[in-house]
Every structure is written in structure tokens, then in C-alpha cells.
Amino acid sequence: MAPYQFIERPTPFNTKGGSTLPIFAVTPAHIETATIDPIALDWAKKAGYKADSGSLLLIPTAEGHLGGALFGLGTNPSEQPYITGTLARALPAGDWHIETAPLTANRLSLGFGLGSYRFDRYKSEKSPAATLMIPRDADGADINRQLAGVFLARDLINIPTNDMGPNELEAAFRGLAAHYKAEINVVSGDDLRQNFPLVHTVGRASADAPRLLELRWGKKGHRKITLVGKGVCFDTGGLDIKPAASMALMKKDMGGAANVMGLALMIMDAKLKVDLRVIVPVVENSISSNAFRPGDIYRSRKGLTVQIDNTDAEGRLILADALSYADEESPDLLIDMATLTGAARVALGPDLPPFFTDDADLAQDLMEASFETDDPLWRLPLYAGYEKDIRSKFADITNAPAGGMAGAITAALFLKRFVSNTKSWAHFDIYGWAPSERPHSPGGGEAQAIRALYHHIRQSVR
């Protein structure tokens, strides 16, 4: 398989002009009050069409050709703001435009775009897709950059580890940096031992060397934004090996890295006035004679010693060194993203990622950005009462507190130990995966929180 090219996807929008078929996006009230195109209304009544949410009814011409479509929004379209994503997968191939819809132009366009995603890299046959004429009053450039960031994250997560190991993830990272003329620095293999000892420890058992990737873009003096993403390309669990069922989706354990790369794409493409730094520790948590062991104690970049009580709690280890490195430059905003704990999924499920921060103003801004972009987030507490749980008898801290209670919080408290100079820090414990199809996603690898974060950062530097 050819190496992944991060910017290879065509736009789901029709940019050629010319003839397009109409879509009438309607609620049941439009049918009942006869406030749509008469020909479409007549066909809807003959077909018994009720405009249920996500329903599609193709409309023929008098000659028997395809003439358009009715698309149901249900009784409350605001409950599914990206319902038009369903159209991208349900419409026959061809060029379409939305004639009427009680949705904003940006919302309906972004919804269609998000839903148009297909992961067909390994399919022998690729079917043609429908395209949409983007409304004139939509911000097409910004919609397309958001889609590019989301699709990058989805692609990187979906590609299996045989084609997206540490070497390939580095190649994708370099491609992103080159496209936006960003500076890049990579430290790998035994060169990690002195300055990034925990990254080296976790990744040393893999045939692909561990590494730390760093990107810099923007102008000094602008708001200093640093993004850190967990890049575990595959997680066996190490010597505390996972059962087979738990290992099946571990190609997505680099979802934090994929998401910060998608967010960085949006920021750079929009040419935001920021001083951007992206740090991604990349490893494969493998099993070999030199794998790290339960009971081992290692010194981190920050100098804190960490006792290994479970080799399957490896993500926080590599993040610890990366966060220490990021924190040394005292950024204005430090964001880390990681597929870190099952506890976060138990608490909030796969679709609602929690975040942790001590900055109440930042938390409020992030929640407002979440609502404005319909990109779900929820704040969980950095409860100091659980600090005792990450203490170790023989080292400064443990990577796996006993008992398993409040696992997402104790993981966040562990990471907090490595952030001391940053003005504002937030940790996102994402799932990075959509277990089932939704209007704006066909399921599989998923971008989470990055549209809200992009919106927040964009607003903060205007």
C-alpha cells in the first residue's frame, strides 16, 4: 500500500458549477401546511412521505428521470444539527444543491461534509459519491479546512498499524509540517534515553524505534499554543498483556496524536496569529525480552520517579515526558489529547469526551465553544482528594493506582504533576472512535473536541 498522503481527499462539494439537482429539506410541518414545491409535495403525499428525521425520498420528473429529492429533518431539526451528513451517504452519485432547509448554510454544509467521509483505502472497488453545491452564504474555506482536519484524524486512526506504525506516523507528521512550511525536529531510538527516558522505556521493545516528534509554526510573540498528543501506534498492554477482545481496536491508541495533528492543520491553514508547537511522543507498546516490567522504577524528564504497577498504563508515561518538555517553555495554552482510560468511557460513553483543567475561565470558554460548534465535551474534576492514590511507597508516583476507582481523574492528576509553568492547561481523555454510524460519521476513527478547540483558539486570537 502506498504511504499515506495527509492531504489527498477531494472536496465533497461541487465546485464546477453547472446543473445540479434540488434537495428539499423539510419537517413534517412543511408537508402538513403545503409550504414546499408543489411537484415535490404531490409526490410526497402519493408516497406517504412523513419527513421523518434522516428519511430520503427521490423525486422523478414527468419523463421518469431523477428530478430531485426530499430529505426529512424530523419535528426538531436542532436536536441533530448535522443531520445533512446522512445525505452524503444516501444520495445517488451526482451533483446536488439544497433548495430549502431550516438550517444555517454553514451547519448544513459542514454536516454534509462530515457525513461524506469514506474510509475505502483498502477497497478494490470505490463507488462514486454525491457532491453538494455549497451555498453562497456559507464560509466554504473554513468548512473545508475543518473537514481536512477531521478527515486527517479519522484517516490516521482508521489505517491499521501495519501501515501506520511509528515510521508511518512520523512520515504523516513530516508531510503535514512540509505542507505548511513548519519546522520539525525528531528525536528517536537511544537518543531518547537521556532527555525523554519514559518515551524510550515504553517503546524500546518494538522493532520500530520510539521517537518524539516536534513541529513549530507561526510567529514568536503571538499567543503561545502547544498541543501534545499520545502516539501509541499499537498497545498490546506490554507484559501486562491485554486480552484479545481489548486489543482489537488498539490501532486507535494513537488517536490523541491524530487529533492534535488535525487541530494543527486547522490552525495553520487558517493562518491564526499564534506561536504553535506540536509535540507527539510515538511508540508501539510491544512485548520482547527488553520490555519494561511491572515493579520497575524509572526517572522521568522532570526528575520525578515513577513506579510501574501496570505496563498497560503506558500512555501517561510517554505524555509525562512530552508535557514536561512542553511546559519548559511556559506556553499560554497547553492542550494534551489522549485515548487514555477506559474509566472515561464508563463515565461518559464513547461520544462525550471529558476534559480536565484547573482554569475555570478556560473551562467555561471550552464549554461555550462545544455548544457553539456542536462538538460535545464535558468537564470532569481534578479532585485533589485523590492525589493520595497516585503516591507510591518506593517512588514519587505510581502509573497505576490500586483499586481502579476514579481512573480518569487519577490519570489526569498524574499528568498534572508534569505541568507547572504553563498559564492554562487542559487534558482531554478522548475515545477516538465512533462505535456506530451517525449522521455526521459512518463510524470508525473519529475526531473529537478539535472543532471546539479550533473555534476557541480562533476566537481567542482575533
Half-sphere exposure of 254 (CA within 13 A, CB side): 35
CATH topology of domain 21-116: Leucine Aminopeptidase, subunit E; domain 1 (3.40.220)
Residue given cell 408537508 in the structure block: 31
Query: For residue 78, what pLDDT is reported?
Result: 77
Instruction: Please list the alpha-helical segments (H only) found in 340-445.
Output: 342-348, 360-373, 407-416
Instruction: Please list the alpha-helical segments (H only) found in 96-191.
Output: 105-115, 140-158, 166-179
Q: How far apart are CA 194 and CA 291, in angstroms?
A: 18
pLDDT band at 253 (very low <50, low <70, confident <90, very high): very high
- In percent, the amount of the chain with pLDDT more than 70 equals 99
Residue given cell 514568536 in the structure block: 220
**Other Cβ atoms within 10 Å of 42 Cβ, number:** 12
- In single-letter form, the type of residue at position 35 comes to T
Average of per-residue pLDDT across 395-413: 96
User: Has residue 37 got a pLDDT over 90?
Assistant: no
**Other Cβ atoms within 10 Å of 65 Cβ, number:** 8
Give which of 444, 375, 442 is closest to 154, Cα–Cα. 444
User: Has residue 149 got a pLDDT over 90?
Assistant: yes
Query: For residue 5, what pLDDT is reported?
Result: 80
Residues 6+ apart with CB under 8 A from 130: 87, 88, 91, 92, 93, 94, 95, 96, 116
Report the relative pairing of strands 66-72 and 56-60 from DSSP bridges: antiparallel
Q: How far apart are CA 449 and CA 458, in angstroms?
A: 14
Query: For residue 99, what pLDDT is reported?
Result: 84
Instruction: Please state, rounded to an integer, the average pLDDT across all residues of the chain.
Output: 95
Handedness of CA 254, 202, 342, 396 (dihedral sign): negative
Query: For residue 101, what pLDDT is reported?
Result: 67
Tell me, yes or no, if the two domains 21-116 and 143-460 fold the same way. no
Active site residues: 242, 316
Query: For residue 32, what pLDDT is reported?
Result: 85
pLDDT band at 173 (very low <50, low <70, confident <90, very high): very high
**Other Cβ atoms within 10 Å of 120 Cβ, number:** 10
Query: For residue 213, what pLDDT is reported?
Result: 99
Question: Which helix or strand (DSSP H or E) is residue 231 part of?
Answer: strand 231-235
Joined together, the cell numbers standing for residue 120 give 475505502
- Where exactly are the structural domains of the chain? 21-116, 143-460
User: Has residue 130 got a pLDDT over 70?
Assistant: yes
Query: For residue 232, what pLDDT is reported?
Result: 98
User: Has residue 336 got a pLDDT over 90?
Assistant: yes
Secondary structure letter of residue 56 according to DSSP: E
Q: How far apart are CA 160 and CA 360, in angstroms?
A: 38
One CATH from 3.40.50.1010, 3.40.630.10, 2.60.120.260, 1.10.8.60 for 143-460: 3.40.630.10
